[in-house]
Amino acid sequence: MMTDGGGIEGSLPPSGPVRHTPVLLPEIITALQPQADGLYIDCTFGAGGYTRAILEAADCRVLALDRDPSAIAAGQNLIQHFSDRLTLVESRFAELADVAQAHGFSAADGVVFDLGVSSMQLDEAERGFSFMRDGPLDMRMSAQGVSAADVVNTFKQDAIADILYQFGEERRSRAIARTIVAARAEKPFERTSELAALCLRVLGQKPGDKNPATRTFQALRLYVNNELDEVSRGLAAAEAVLRPGGRLAVVAFHSLEDRIAKQFLNDRAGRVAAPSRHAPVAAEHAAPTFKLLTRKLVEPSEAEIAANPRSRSAKLRAAEKLL
Q: Where residue 105 sits, what CATH number does that domain have?
A: 3.40.50.150
Q: Is 225 left (phi over 0), alpha (psi -120 to 50) or beta?
A: alpha
What per-residue string of b and e applies to 48-83 under the rule 16 or more CB within 10 Å gives b? bbbbbbbbebbebbbbbbbbbebbbebbeebbeebe
Tell me which of 187, 205, 224 is where a domain ends.
224
Q: For residue 305, what are the contacts with CB-CB under 8 A and spacing of at least 6?
A: 311, 312
14 lies in a domain? no
Residues 6 or more apart whose Cβ sits within 8 Å of residue 105: 39, 41, 61, 63, 99, 241
CATH of the domain at 161: 1.10.150.170
128 part of a folded domain: no
Could you tell me if 159 and 286 lie in one domain? no
Neighbours of 36 (CB within 10 A): 8
Measured distance CA(287)–CA(269) in Å, rounded: 8
15-29: per-residue pLDDT in tens? 333 346 799 999 999
Residue 5 scores a pLDDT above 80: no
Q: Which of 164, 190, 224 is the last residue of a domain?
A: 224
**Sign, Cα dihedral of 94, 96, 102, 103:** positive
Residue type, 135: G
Q: Which of 224, 256, 282 is the last residue of a domain?
A: 224
Indicate if 152 and 176 belong to the same structural domain: yes
Domain for residue 254, yes or no?
Answer: yes
pLDDT at 116 over 80: no
Residues 98, 233, single domain; the answer is: yes
Is 232 part of a structural domain of the chain?
A: yes
Asked if the structure places residue 9 within a domain, the reply is no
Q: Is 72 helix (H, G, I), strand (E, B) or coil?
A: helix
2 belongs to a structural domain: no
Mean local confidence (pLDDT), 80-107: 95
Backbone phi, then psi, for 259, in 5-degree steps? -65, -40
pTM: 0.85
Are both 214 and 232 inside the same structural domain? no
Nearest CA to 40 out of 103, 119, 116 is that of 103
* Residues 192, 177 within the same domain: yes
Residues 259 and 111 placed together within one structural domain of the fold = yes
Could you tell me if 278 and 230 are in contact, meaning their C-beta atoms sit under 8 angstroms apart? Answer: no
Q: 291 exposed, middle or buried (CB, 10 Å; 0-12, 13-18, 19+)?
A: middle
User: Residue 202 is part of which domain span?
Assistant: 145-224
pLDDT tier at 119, thresholds 50, 70, 90: low
- When pLDDT is cut at 50, 70 and 90, the band that residue 319 belongs to is very high
Whether residue 132 contacts residue 12, with contact meaning beta carbons closer than 8 Å, is answered with: yes
Kindly state whether residue 13 falls inside one of the protein's structural domains.
no
Query: Under DSSP, is residue 40 helix (H, G, I), strand (E, B) or coil?
Result: strand
Q: Are residues 172 and 116 in the same domain?
A: no
Mean pLDDT, the chain, as a whole number?
A: 88
Number of domains in the chain: 2
What pLDDT score was predicted for residue 14? 34
